[in-house]
Chain A
Amino acid sequence: MTRTPAKMIYRHPVAVRLTHWLSALALIILAMSGMQIFNAHPALYTGDASTFGHPVFSIGARQASDGTPVGFVQVGSHVIRTTGVLGYGPDGVGGMSARAFPAWATIPAYQDLADGRRWHFFFAWIFVICALIYAPWAVRLLPSRNDLRALPAALREHLPPWRVKPAPRLNPLQKVTYAGIVLVVAPLVILSGLALSPAVDAWAPWLPQLFGGRQFARIWHFGAMLALMLFFVVHLVMVALTGLTNNLRSMITGWLRVP
């Protein structure tokens, strides 16, 4: 049995590597400062205006019958106890308090809507600038008909996922996943965020309407964030399973070793 020597290929150009790390940083900060902003009114509604008594989703705190505080998450008519993490948890200044997302998940850690907004709108610009620079590569992620046809086979190759080998080109499953994140979820999170701005809404009244109203746009914005975080976790797991150092090197120096 002869072993073919590993080959180094230049996989990621500098613009891709730069926008990858910058938007990764921006997205983490956007999610964490977004949770800070969400804490100011932790409830989601459909439509244009808020129906305060009946949110479709909310995170809150109440007193149990024995007087102890209880944190909860409400989705429709379901209520889940989440004391210690959501609804009632660490306040960032050494105690516990009623707050939707805990101090360790928000920027800043303590409750501060004004500064949470400053972080959010600063890194929103970083993310949008990254998106513009990356756009020429983003369109190449569109899966071709062949990619879609090869998708079931690619899925089988990913079972178990640690058997996936580094390859000079994206496999169909990667293409579909990245296309979904880059071409669907990222535009969704940007546009639904813009729809929350009263000034943007005056310029483009169709934008909040596209999402079912300004309050409904908050649901889209929140949901797109959850989708990005889910992708983030799966992405990290796959990077680790398929050769952590090789993958990290390729996204830092551009060079990937392929068998």
Chain B
Amino acid sequence: MKYGRRTFLGLVATLPLAGCASLATSLNDHPGFHRFLLLPETLDLAILGAGQPLAREYRPQDISPDFRANGFDPPSDPEYRRWSRNGWRGYRLVVDGLVRLPRSYDLAMLRHAFIRRTQITRHDCVEGWSVIGEWSGVRLADVLNDCGVRPEARYVVFHCMDTDGGGTYYYESLSLKQAAHPQALLAYDLNGKPVPIKNGAPLRLKVPTQLGYKSAKYVKRIEVVAALGGPLGRGGYWEDQGYEWYAGI
């Protein structure tokens, strides 16, 4: 009898919750209602994206002992492995699309032909955890200016070398305004050493004002475009899985 009463009280407590969960889940699976749930993203972008405030920069003693990596396994193609073994000789970052002068850069050019920027910023994963690291690299805006963005351009797409289990490549995108943020960095060093492979070697994007998935790793091509959509999907690998394109929250 005692067991019966406990079960009964348990059901009284959990059934209303289970009812809510199951009702909400069926609404979640309804395409019309799901579109409704996407509405706040536009509002959030309009409010939080209205300016370009700087993310807080931390002190050296705040740096996390290990910069946790998330996402896919490092790129597995033979070319990437060959580059990683010979100090990234052969790797070039390509910048093309709606630019006056499409160019490509090797790591030495990125390290020496541009001003080196260093920032100690917090990396917030969409899962909820945070790590702090010191990133050095070139401002994304400096590279884009070097190629000359054409007036009809609106977005910058980052094509990466890592793939999910099914072979789909990672990619991300920023608006031109977000790409002009002074802390939007193409980083080649983490904590004073070349970016480790697990953290996106040889070059990764770092956008400290948005969640970690916007900071694409293993970047090999930057494409400047007029619009997202079509073959560019919703503007990113995780965006195509239902995550927000604007990852400021």
* Chain A contact residues, CB within 8 Å of chain B: 28-29, 32, 37-38, 40-41, 43, 45, 48-50, 52, 92, 103-110, 112-115, 117-119, 121-122, 124-125, 196-203, 205, 214-215, 218
Q: Which of B24, B54, B62, B244 contacts A49 (CB 8 A)?
A: B62
With A45-B129, A105-B17, A109-B21 given, name 15 new contacts (CB 8 A): A28-B20, A29-B24, A32-B17, A41-B127, A49-B62, A50-B68, A103-B21, A107-B25, A107-B28, A108-B21, A197-B248, A199-B48, A199-B249, A202-B209, A203-B51
Verify if B126 is at the interface (C-beta below 8 Å from A): yes
* Chain B contact residues, CB within 8 Å of chain A: 14, 17-18, 20-22, 24-25, 28-29, 34, 36-41, 43-44, 48-49, 51, 53-56, 58, 62, 64, 66, 68, 122, 124-132, 208-211, 238, 241-244, 247-249
Structural contact, A202 and B37, CB atoms closer than 8 A: no
Structural contact, A121 and B56, CB atoms closer than 8 A: no
A122 with B21, Cβ < 8 A, contacts A41-B127, A199-B249 known = no
Q: Which of B22, B68, B122 contacts A198 (CB 8 A)?
A: B122
A115 with B49, Cβ < 8 A, contacts A32-B17, A105-B17, A108-B24 known = no
- The 6 tightest CB contacts between A and B, nearest first, are A199-B248, A114-B242, A104-B18, A41-B128, A41-B127, A50-B129
A119 with B37, Cβ < 8 A, contacts A48-B58, A103-B21, A198-B211 known = yes
Q: Which of A38, A110, A199 contacts B49 (CB 8 A)?
A: A199
A50 with B131, Cβ < 8 A, contacts A107-B20, A114-B241 known = yes
Structural contact, B25 and A199, CB atoms closer than 8 A: no
13 A-B interface contacts by CB (under 8 A): A32-B17, A41-B129, A48-B122, A48-B132, A52-B66, A105-B17, A106-B21, A107-B24, A115-B242, A117-B243, A122-B37, A197-B248, A218-B128
A104 with B126, Cβ < 8 A, contacts A122-B39, A125-B40 known = no
Interfacial chain B residues near A118, Cβ < 8 Å: 34, 37-38, 242
Structural contact, A109 and B122, CB atoms closer than 8 A: no
Interfacial chain A residues near B248, Cβ < 8 Å: 197-200
Distance of B24 from chain A, by nearest CB (Å):
4
Structural contact, B122 and A115, CB atoms closer than 8 A: no
CA distance A121 to B241 in the complex (A): 17
Interfacial chain B residues near A103, Cβ < 8 Å: 21
Distance of B160 from chain A, by nearest CB (Å):
20
> In chain A, what residue has the closest Cβ to B212?
A198
Interfacial chain B residues near A32, Cβ < 8 Å: 17, 20-21, 24
A117 with B56, Cβ < 8 A, contacts A28-B20, A49-B131, A197-B249 known = no
CA distance A107 to B28 in the complex (A): 9
Structural contact, B129 and A202, CB atoms closer than 8 A: no
Structural contact, A115 and B18, CB atoms closer than 8 A: no
Distance of B136 from chain A, by nearest CB (Å):
19
Structural contact, A203 and B53, CB atoms closer than 8 A: yes
Distance of B244 from chain A, by nearest CB (Å):
7
